[in-house]
């Protein structure tokens, strides 16, 4: 075991996968000589060569479209979108092409490819370096959407994503990159896509989250235990699509109280889907209305510190306060 | 004129049998097209996409491609391309009637959205030009794996307005990839004439901006199309990188069975273009060049007609997809 931060776990895993399989190709903007703006591929070009670490033109639809072609002809491309905010020109390639290739050919062709995209805010990224994009893509059948939030999950899920026969959108919360550290096995291991993980056990309420918000929920849960003696169970969704409803429902049936916390703006987000699943399938197990905490429905996260803080934390300790209210309902 | 064309053909290494096979494939495309439209008017085919007028540029540019080696990335008008790639008339009608055994999609896609992994035909969608970066990616994989293979992508001139078209050509040129881009310029993007799509006379002139050769060819001259593609295919195979070929052609029928082309072009204009029918023109060249006589071509035509009629019957009798399969193949773990 080695302690690593999230971005190092991603870097090391990607490195090992490239070393183990020459079908794995990395392509994207600045991934080569620059080593990626977050240094995920630092040194890769020198080690693996320019034909495996492809600095592309600044064209996101082309990056994903070319990666689809590579996947169709036997390679295992890992396409990096420099910031998730810039992925939108590639929406059509992901929606109309990658996600439908297998379905529209009745299983004849498939697109084994990974699209990595650093996402999320709280890092002074303003409108175009802070976005949450998961809901757009989790809505699309045929593409898997994951967002691991610990170094071990990032390593295990990246390995699973590269091995997956279908397209995976691998989202990496930038705020977690260096802030979140954890033990990672030195031996190669996989973490399955489509399984949530109970990051903290508890019996009094269920908190479902992912990304950077997960860590804030874990902090709030620890405080709630200390101050009120209330045990919050915190579930890390990890995989937004497919969504592990079984783990979520099992927890809710145990605690009878449910809360969903996510950074994306509230409306039509992942929280709506998770809340709907709970409402549909565990309504009579609940002792309180489902609580949904999302970002404000404003176009994006502003730059000024005070405004950004307001987006992330509209009132002091808002997650902790909501947990306490739900526990006392 | 026709004799000169035949000499060009011989110079390209084509035999008389090759020429007759090309002609037969053009006739097959034409007769499938006419029959498909009749099936549509009879109410048996909800939607068909005509090809008539494009047979010359399609059979000509498809012919240098090698079955089982090269990869085909067509668009929805490319009936002639997929026939050369090895799709049978019966398979085409299985798609038109959206039957369970339709090789392209098992009845999931609209007709003409070609695909067959076995034949190396890559599936495409209805959004335009999205397949162009796929061709570049396939070519990248071919080069990376040192394959002696070429990928070709076909599209209309309408596709050249899309960002994906630009991004695909640009990437292919940067890496000198083994790919040929073939534009079947029929002057209209459904109803929008070329003058409202671009300010240049030739799509091929854009090639210079990407750093690849651009070639303009008469799309109604099947052998000229063959020659241009043969050169481009050889260039791609020998490390010379991509080529953009523009075939000037015309579509005789509406965009699809749901289109009314009388709203945007005159009957006189269509009639004038029918005088340059690539199928008729090639037949005349074959006769004038002494490759075949009119009787032989007539017999071939009747043979193809019988094949098409049999294909329609067999495809019509084939089973429809089972509704229980609608949820299969979203992911690899949902097998059929």
Q: Closest by alpha carbon to A113, among A224, A27, A238?
A: A27
Dist. CA B116–CA B139, nearest whole Å: 18
Percent of chain A residues past pLDDT 70, beyond the cut: 100
Chain B: give the shortest CA distance to residue A175, in Å: 31
Identify the pLDDT of residue B2.
32
Q: Which of A69, A110, A142 sits opposite B135 (nearest CB)?
A: A69
The mean pLDDT value for A312-316 works out to: 94
- For tokens 């070429």, what's the residue? B150
Give the pLDDT confidence of B24-55 residue by residue, as tens digits: 999 999 999 999 999 999 999 999 999 999 99
Q: Which residues contact A91 (CB under 8 A, 6 or more apart)?
A: A136
pLDDT at B334: 75
Residue B35 corresponds to which tokens in the numbers above?
Answer: 């029959």
CATH number of the structural domain B2-318: 3.40.50.970
B171 with A51: Cβ contact below 8 A? no
Q: Which residue of A has its CA nearest to B149?
A: A73
Helix axes B16-41, B222-237, angle to 10 degrees: 110
> Are the Cβ atoms of B115 and A108 closer than 8 angstroms?
yes
B175 to chain A: closest CA residue: A51
* A312 vs A242: CA distance, rounded Å: 26
What's the rounded Cα separation, in Å, for the pair A149 and A172?
8
Q: What is the pLDDT of residue B333?
A: 84
Which residues of chain A make contact with B141, given a CB cutoff of 8 A?
69-70, 72-75
Chain A interface test: which of B74, B140, B175, B177 (most A C-beta within 10 Å): B140
Check pLDDT > 80 for residue B5: no
Chain A contact for B329, CB < 8 A? yes
Q: What is the mean pLDDT of residues B162-184?
A: 98
**A interface test, pick of B137, B150, B328 with most A CB neighbours within 10 Å:** B137
Interface test with A, best of B142, B167, B174 (most A CBs within 10 A): B167
Taking all residues of chain B, what is their mean pLDDT, rounded to a whole number? 95
Chain B CB contacts of A77 under 8 Å are: 137
pLDDT attached to residue B13? 76
Q: Which chain B residues touch A65 with a CB distance below 8 Å?
A: 130, 132-134, 136-137, 164, 167-168
Confidence (pLDDT) at B12: 55
Query: Distance between CA atoms of A183 and A9, rounded to whole angstroms?
Result: 10
The predicted pLDDT at position B336 comes to 56
From the CA of B39, how many Å to the nearest CA of chain A?
A: 24
Q: Which residues of B are marked as active site?
A: 251, 255, 264
- In this complex, is the C-beta atom of B163 within 8 Å of any C-beta atom belonging to chain A? yes
* Domains detected in chain A: 2-184 (3.40.50.970), 197-328 (3.40.50.920)
CB of A102 within 8 Å of a chain B CB? The answer is yes
Contact map slice: B 122-141 vs A, CB within 8 A? 122-123, 125-127, 130, 132-141
Question: Which tens digit of pLDDT belongs to each residue from A288-307?
Answer: 999 999 999 999 999 999 99
Q: Please, are residues A265 and A295 in contact by the beta-carbon 8 Å criterion?
A: yes
- Report how far residue A213's alpha carbon sits from residue A55's, in angstroms, rounded to the nearest whole number: 32
The pLDDT tens digits for A22-65 are 999 999 999 999 999 999 999 999 999 999 999 999 999 999 99
* Both structure tokens of A316: 């002091």
For residue B9, pLDDT over 90 is answered with no
pLDDT digits (tens, 9 = 90+) for A222-255: 999 999 999 999 999 999 999 999 999 999 999 9
Angle formed by the axes of helices B294-317 and B278-288, nearest 10°: 140
Instruction: Find the mean pLDDT for residues B87-99.
Output: 98
- CB of A70 within 8 Å of any CB in chain B? yes
Residues A83-92 have a mean pLDDT of: 98
Residue pairs spanning A and B at CB distance below 8 A: 138
The answer to whether A105 contacts B142, with C-beta atoms less than 8 Å apart, is no
Residue B13, chain A, CB below 8 Å: the answer is no
Rounded to an integer, the average pLDDT of B225-254 is: 97
Task: Please tell me which residue of chain A has the smallest CA distance to B105.
Answer: A105
Poorest-confidence range of A97-106, B9-18, B52-61, B264-273?
B9-18
Scanning every residue of chain A, which has its alpha carbon at the shortest distance from the alpha carbon of B73? A69
- Burial letters for B138-175: b for 16+ Cβ neighbours within 10 Å, e otherwise? bbbbbbbeebebbbbbbbbbbbbebbbbbbbbbbbbbb
Mean pLDDT, chain A, whole residue set:
98
Tell me whether B106 touches chain A (CB under 8 Å). Answer: yes
Which chain B residues are Cβ-neighbours of A73 within 8 angstroms?
71, 137-138, 141-142
Nearest CA in chain A to B106: A106
Distance from the B201 Cα atom to the nearest Cα atom in chain A, whole angstroms? 26
Residues B133, A62: C-beta atoms closer than 8 Å: yes
Q: How confident is the model at residue B278 (pLDDT cuts 50, 70, 90)?
A: very high
Query: pLDDT digits over A155-214, tens only?
Result: 999 999 999 999 999 999 999 999 999 999 999 999 999 999 999 999 999 999 999 999
Can you give the residue ranges of every domain in chain B? Answer: 2-318
Beta strands in chain A (DSSP E): 2-5, 24-28, 53-55, 76-80, 114-119, 144-146, 168-173, 181-184, 197-200, 205-209, 232-236, 239-241, 258-265, 291-295
């Amino acid at each position: 075991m080695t302690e690593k931060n999230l971005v190092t776990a991603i870097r090391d895993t990607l490195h090992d996968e490239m070393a183990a399989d020459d079908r794995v190709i990395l392509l994207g903007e600045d991934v080569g000589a620059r080593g990626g703006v977050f240094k995920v591929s630092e040194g890769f070009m020198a080690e693996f060569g320019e034909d495996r670490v492809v600095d592309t033109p600044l064209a996101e639809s082309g990056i994903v479209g070319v990666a689809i072609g590579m996947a169709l002809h036997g390679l295992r491309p890992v396409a990096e979108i420099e910031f998730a905010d810039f992925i939108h020109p590639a929406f059509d390639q992901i929606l109309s092409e990658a996600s439908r290739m297998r379905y529209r050919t009745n299983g004849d062709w498939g697109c084994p490819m990974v699209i990595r995209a650093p996402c999320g805010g709280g890092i002074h990224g303003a409108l175009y370096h802070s976005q949450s994009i998961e809901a757009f893509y989790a809505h699309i059948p045929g593409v898997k959407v994951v967002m691991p939030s610990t170094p071990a999950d990032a390593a295990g899920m990246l390995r699973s994503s590269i091995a997956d026969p279908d397209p995976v959108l691998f989202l990496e919360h930038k705020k977690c990159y260096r802030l979140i550290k954890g033990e990672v096995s030195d031996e190669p291991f996989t973490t399955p896509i489509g399984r949530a993980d109970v990051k903290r056990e508890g019996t009094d309420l269920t908190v479902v989250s992912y990304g950077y918000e997960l860590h804030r929920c874990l902090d709030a849960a620890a405080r709630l235990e200390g101050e009120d003696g209330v045990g919050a169970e915190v579930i890390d969704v990890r995989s937004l699509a497919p969504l592990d409803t079984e783990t979520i429902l099992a927890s809710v049936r145990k605690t009878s109280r449910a809360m969903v916390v996510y950074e994306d703006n509230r409306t039509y987000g992942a929280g709506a889907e998770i809340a709907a699943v709970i409402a549909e399938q565990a309504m009579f197990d609940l002792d309180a209305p489902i609580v949904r905490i999302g970002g404000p429905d404003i176009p994006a996260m502003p730059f000024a510190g005070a405004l950004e803080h307001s987006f992330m934390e509209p009132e002091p300790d808002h997650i902790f306060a909501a947990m306490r209210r739900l526990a006392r309902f | 004129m026709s004799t000169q064309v035949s000499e060009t053909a011989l110079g390209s290494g084509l035999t008389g049998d090759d020429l007759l096979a090309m002609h037969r494939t053009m006739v097959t495309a034409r007769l499938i097209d006419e029959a498909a439209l009749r099936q549509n008017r009879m109410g048996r085919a909800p939607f068909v996409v005509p090809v008539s007028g494009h047979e010359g540029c399609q059979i000509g540019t498809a012919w240098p491609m090698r079955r089982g080696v090269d990869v085909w990335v067509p668009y929805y008008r490319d009936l002639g391309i997929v026939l050369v790639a090895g799709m049978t008339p019966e398979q085409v009608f299985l798609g038109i009637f959206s039957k369970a055994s339709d090789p392209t999609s098992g009845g999931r896609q609209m007709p003409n959205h070609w695909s067959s992994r076995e034949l190396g035909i890559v599936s495409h969608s209805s959004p335009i030009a999205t397949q162009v970066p796929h061709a570049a990616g396939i070519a990248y994989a071919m080069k990376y794996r040192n394959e002696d293979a070429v990928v070709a992508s076909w599209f209309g001139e309408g596709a050249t307005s899309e960002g994906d078209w630009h991004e695909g050509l640009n990437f292919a040129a940067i890496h000198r990839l083994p790919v040929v881009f073939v534009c079947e310029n029929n002057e209209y993007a459904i109803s929008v004439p070329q003058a409202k799509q671009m300010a240049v006379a030739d799509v091929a002139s854009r090639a210079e901006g990407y750093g690849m050769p651009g070639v303009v060819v008469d799309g109604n001259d099947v052998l000229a199309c063959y020659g241009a593609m043969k050169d481009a295919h050889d260039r791609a195979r020998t490390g010379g990188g991509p080529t953009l070929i523009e075939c000037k052609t015309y579509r005789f029928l509406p965009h699809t069975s749901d289109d009314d082309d009388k709203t945007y072009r005159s009957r006189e204009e269509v009639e004038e273009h029918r005088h340059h029918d690539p199928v008729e023109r090639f037949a005349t060249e074959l006769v004038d060049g002494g490759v075949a006589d009119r009787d032989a071509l007539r017999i071939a035509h009747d043979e193809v007609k019988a094949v098409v009629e049999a294909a329609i019957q067999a495809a019509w009798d084939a089973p429809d997809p089972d509704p229980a399969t609608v949820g299969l193949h979203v992911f690899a773990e949902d097998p059929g």
